[in-house]
Chain A
Amino acid sequence: MKETILKVKNLAVSYTTYRGKVRSVRGLSFKLKKGETLALVGESGCGKSASVKPIMGEHEANQVIESGEITFTYDGPQGEETVDLLKIDDEKMQQEIKGKQIAMIFQDPMTSLDPTMKIGKQIAEAIKTSSSDLSSEELTDKVRELIDMVGIGHIDTVMNQYPHQLSGGMRQRIVIAIALSSDPSLLICDEPTTALDVTIQARILNLIKKLQRERGLSVIFITHNLGVVANVADRVNVMYAGKIIETGSSEDIFFDPRHPYTWGLLSAVPDVHDNEEKLPTINGTIPDLTKEIVGDAFAPRNPYALEIDFKEEPPMFSVNEHHEAATWLLDERAPKIEMPELLQQRIMRMRGEVYD
């Protein structure tokens, strides 16, 4: 059994806006083990980013942490330490955790880099914040090592270039190098390949996976692209309206999805083998999170909704020891409902590809 390095318990985050309080995250619990990749999937506004911001110790002026606990275990200066990231004082967060133990990669590599500073210097600056006692030779060596690590061949040229002279994929490699300069134990990737082309995306994903294996990193991967999830994730959390509605291993989610929202998400992606005239869609829009939600938040858009879905919120039903879904369809009293036929066929075909 691998050790758990991050445990989020009943986290609720809201934002005060002129329209009232937006309840972005409404009671979120999950665990992350060492060396594991956890994907958070969902549409925009489902609370993916809002739920990882408190982990990074990012507090916006209008952000309110309503409740919850985020326990993080790491090797600190005084040996192994376990802290609650919501209660920890700012100085400790800043000096030991943010950007040190927990690093982050964002969607747009251009905005994470300083446009007026050469790449070599930028990486050196990042190294200096975590290990300040290096001589200038050691520092240059470390910079070269990091650039080499992210698979860039012409190290000397790149060191003397500015961010705008690099392509999007190269920039994202540099951002990864900077993120890993402090030797973190947890890496949070927020849509890191969304702005990149498919060919470059494949290479960056491969790089992240390689580095993860080599360094035993734990990764939280935020994305809306289910293909990317299939590529990187060990475990998947599907989020809707600030809650996890289904959680399981990649195989559970892709081969045996149970929540109607997960069905909808999986079906809406056109498959290269399908010949459907019309793509299946999820009707309606995400609920207004300023209003109190009664019952299942997905019920108004759910063609399979039961009467109880509009009255009472479904608990997490267990499918197997690592697969859970919050839908009343899994209650033993519920009528038997199968996933849409198109999706069934697709899964059959995928399983065929796997076990042939």
Chain B
Amino acid sequence: MTDNILEVHHLKQYFPVSRQEVVKAIDDVSFNIEKGETFGLVGESGSGKTTIGRAIIRLHDPTEGKVIFQGETISGKLNKKNQEMLRSDMQMIFQDPMSSLNPRKKISDIIKVGLDIHRRDLREPEKMKLVYEVLRTVGLDESFAVRYPKELSGGQRQRIGIARAVVMNPQLIIADEAISALDVSVQAQVVNLLKQIQKDTGSALLFIAHDLAMVRHISDHIGVIHLGHLIELGTTEQIFENPYHSYTKSLLESIPVANPVTERGKQPTTYSATKADYENQSMVEVEAGHWVLTEK
């Protein structure tokens, strides 16, 4: 398997809350992301999907497990070369476009930070050229370079968040709920933009979200997370057309549809499972490339 840009093996992320207690935010999660594809990670809030993204990009130190990015192990102690590779080839887009942009800096400086640190070989005019280029890529004109975050609308700010990631020419972009703070019409714009960038640059995308319709629209593969466990994994078609796990099914049935007649009569499905239920289970391949967490 050489065409995987990212491999996650048995990733565990525990957080001690007191001397006796440990929160198992992610428990034994494994998946691969192929070069240039979009991998969607869905789950309810608190399920650990954000933690997975943060553990991969090393905002957390994984408790156990292995993360391999472009053939190099990036979990555990990082040497200088791998650190450099990780920090420039993997980029993240955050949920809240306001709090992730420094309010005191001009847009051009915000976009340029990564270049300033990792591209010492470039001179200032060359960097600015890249900044203007990336601004155009995200659909903003050059005049935005001298403006401040507060002067921008939510959608424009999220475009800056994307520009800042894309300017580094990353191989993998992690988008953590990148569109959930935006209005419906703006969400569509940002998703189209992400798709276009992927097409042009060939970078892979880890798309973390709770909006299943959007995840379906953008993803090639989907992983469903519940209570810190990956419970189902497969292609978008497999997950949506042929879901196995009852949690996935209840999730799919709960998506509100813009059809008043079918929607009104809908009864909410109930699904309950505890962490303990999942702990002794393992992933089983039910069809080619489609994995489900079940009893052994």
Contact = CB atoms under 8 A, between A and B. Distances in A.
B195 interface: yes
Contacts of B154: 44
B256 A227 contact: yes
B83 interface: no
Of the listed residues B183, B188, B214, B259, the one surrounded by the most CB atoms of chain A closer than 10 A to its CB is B259
Given A197-B44, A224-B183, A226-B184, A281 B256 contact: no
Contact of A43 (B185, B213, B254): B185
B266 A231 contact: yes
A206 B250 contact: no
Q: Chain A contact residues: over half helix, strand or loop, or mixed?
A: helix
A272 interface: yes
B260 A233 contact: yes
Contacts of A54: none
Q: Chain B contact residues: over half helix, strand or loop, or mixed?
A: helix
Interface in A213-242: 224-231, 233
Interface in A305-341: none
B263 A230 contact: yes
Nearest to B240: A272
A198 B212 contact: yes
Contacts of A168: 45
Contact of A281 (B189, B251, B261, B269): B189
A243 B110 CA distance: 37
B261 A251 contact: yes
B268 A203 contact: yes
B259 A279 contact: no
B259 A201 contact: no
Contacts of A254: 258-260
A200 interface: yes
Interface string A53-73: 000000000000000000000
Given A44-B183, A265-B184, A272-B216, A279 B192 contact: yes
A281 B192 contact: yes
B183 A270 contact: no
A199 B44 contact: yes
B243 interface: no
Contacts, number: 123
A147 to B, nearest CB: 19
A269 B183 contact: no
Interface string A20-47: 0000000000000000000000011000
A226 B268 contact: no
B118 to A, nearest CB: 32
Interface residues of B, number: 40
Interface string B36-48: 0000000011000
B128 interface: no
A300 interface: no
A265 B183 CA distance: 10
A280 B188 CA distance: 7
Contacts of A250: 260
Given A270-B216, A279-B192, A230 B268 contact: no
A81 interface: no
Given A206-B268, A270-B217, A272-B216, A43 B184 contact: yes
B268 A43 contact: no
A83 interface: no
Contacts of A295: none
Contacts of B192: 278-279, 281
Contacts of A201: 254, 256
Contacts of B267: 206
A354 B262 contact: yes
Interface in A259-298: 264-266, 268-272, 274, 277-282, 285
Contact of B264 (A225, A231, A285): A231
A198 B210 contact: yes
A268 B187 contact: yes
Contacts of A278: 192, 195
Interface in B238-277: 240, 250-251, 254-264, 266-269, 271
Given A197-B210, A254-B258, A265-B185, 6 more contacts: A203-B268, A224-B184, A231-B260, A231-B266, A269-B184, A282-B185
Interface of B: 44-45, 153-155, 183-189, 191-192, 195, 210, 212-214, 216-217, 240, 250-251, 254-264, 266-269, 271
7 contacts: A205-B268, A226-B258, A231-B264, A268-B184, A268-B187, A270-B188, A271-B258
Interface of A: 43-44, 168, 197-203, 205-206, 224-231, 233, 250-251, 254-255, 264-266, 268-272, 274, 277-282, 285, 350, 353-354
